[in-house]
Amino acid sequence: MSNLKDKKLHRTLAFAVINALKLIFNEGYYADKVVSKALKSDKRFGVRDRKFIAETIYEMVRWKRLYNEIAGTKEHYSAENLWKNFTVYVVLKGYDLPDWNQFIDVPVRRIKGKFDELSKIRVFAASIPDWLDKLGSKELGEKWETEINALNQKAKVILRVNTLKTTKEFLQKELFKEGIETVFLKNYPDALELVERKNVFMTDTFKKGFFEMQDASSQLVAAYLDVKPGMRVIDTCAGAGGKTLHLASLMQNKGQIIALDIHAHKLKELKKRAKRDGAHNIEMRPIESTKIIKKLKNSADRVLIDAPCSGLGVLKRNPDAKWKMQPAFIEEIKKVQADILQRYSSMVKKGGKLVYATCSILPSENEEQITKFLANNKTFKLVSQKSILASVSGYDGFFMALLEKIE
């Protein structure tokens, strides 16, 4: 199809983007699901076509408010308005405007002028809802602006080497043979960063279970739990198990990991991944009632609580969360966090440790939750805590606190 050289637009690709945006903005579909569907919609799409489609959709979701304001489309996403927003994107990215009906009389100078003007106003420059800007300012003060700018950058692709099956050095060589170049990351012992975004899931190395895709910040969580081979570890909000699998490799497959989650279908996905990764020490248990937690009281050497949260630390990879989230959700999730921390901490035995982690950057979901918990639970003490900001690390925003049960 097109090779997209010389900043030329291809009609089929433009329509693929517009159709995808209709689903995201009007039907409430998740951007990542829509992107993967769009990429499969035409077998003729080459590597560069796919790159254009994926990047353009994500960028238009990320900068939705800014483009709306420049185009004067407000919040109405008719086909005509989506083309107006797309026109803004195309002009700002420096593409040649083809002579299509959608591009008649494009006010190029006005678009660029409006962009310069709005770049001075944070809610437009960072393309965020007013309420989120107020909340970020309240909680992070002067750091907020730098942080939201960092979270508006594209996420890097990071792999976590599965040390149960291979080494970082060997994996790097094997990926290179498959045309994928990677670099090591200082201070992230199991991480490889892709030099250029590629579809790694089609590789032989992936099918053999040599790696998982996992952000660098997320890779710090399992290590923070200070696990040793032979321990009994409970991962309480395991989900599809990115951190569970990391725990299994840190424990060298020795000991026992109990993976809990309220969603049984996520644990099924973990089961598949564990098989591929050769992780044999994981037992999946869906939380169907409070009995599950009661049975495990005072039984674990280590407990991981990767708590549900606002997800504000991972906006790089989920830009549509800015538009889906509501202030009421954040208030609600904080109650859930406090409840989970209180109930799940009962599974730690004396002398055992617990990590509470979130992919949020808000102190009210992080440090403040720990302070409140410790005030009500004298049996625990804080060993250490760490807040990772995207603006400092270059990766996702994360928080982790390590607590020890002292009596």
For residue 1, pLDDT over 50 is answered with no
Q: Cα separation of 335 and 331, whole Å?
A: 7
92, 56 contact by CB (below 8 A): no
Non-local (6+) Cβ contacts of 193 within 8 A are: 156, 157, 158, 159, 182, 183, 185, 216
For residue 53, pLDDT over 80 is answered with yes
Cross-strand partners of 386: 400
Report the CATH fold assignment for 158-213.
Alpha-Beta Plaits (3.30.70)
Q: What is the DSSP string of 116-163?
A: HHHTTSHHHHTT--HHHHHHHHHHHTTHHHHHHHHHTSPPPPEEEE-T
- CA nearest neighbour of 212 among 179, 237, 244: 244
Q: Cα separation of 296 and 233, whole Å?
A: 11
For residue 395, pLDDT over 50 is answered with yes
Question: 3-state secondary structure string, 213-230?
Answer: ECCCCCHHHHHHCCCCCC
Report the CATH fold assignment for 219-405.
Rossmann fold (3.40.50)
Report pLDDT for 75.
Answer: 80
pLDDT tens for each residue of 194-203: 999 888 999 9
What is the assigned CATH class of domain 5-127? Answer: mainly alpha
Q: How far apart are the first and last CA of the chain?
A: 67
**Active-site pick, 359, 401, 402, 403:** 359
Q: How confident is the model at residue 352 (pLDDT cuts 50, 70, 90)?
A: very high
Question: Using the 8-state DSSP alphabet, how is residue 208 labeled?
Answer: T
Q: How confident is the model at residue 3 (pLDDT cuts 50, 70, 90)?
A: very low
As a whole number, mean pLDDT of residues 58-71 equals 96
Prediction pTM value:
0.94
Chain centroid, CA 250 distance in Å: 22
As a whole number, mean pLDDT of residues 339-350 equals 97
For residue 2, pLDDT over 50 is answered with no
For residue 7, pLDDT over 90 is answered with no
For residue 46, pLDDT over 80 is answered with yes
Number of residues in the chain: 407
CA dist list (Å): 8 to 52, 84, 290: 11, 18, 59
Report pLDDT for 6.
Answer: 60
pLDDT tens for each residue of 171-201: 999 999 999 999 999 999 999 999 998 889 9
For residue 311, pLDDT over 50 is answered with yes
359 is catalytic: yes
Mean pLDDT of the chain: 95
Sketch the domain layout of the chain as residue ranges.
Answer: 5-127, 158-213, 219-405
pLDDT tens for each residue of 228-285: 999 999 999 999 999 999 999 999 999 999 999 999 999 999 999 999 999 999 999 9
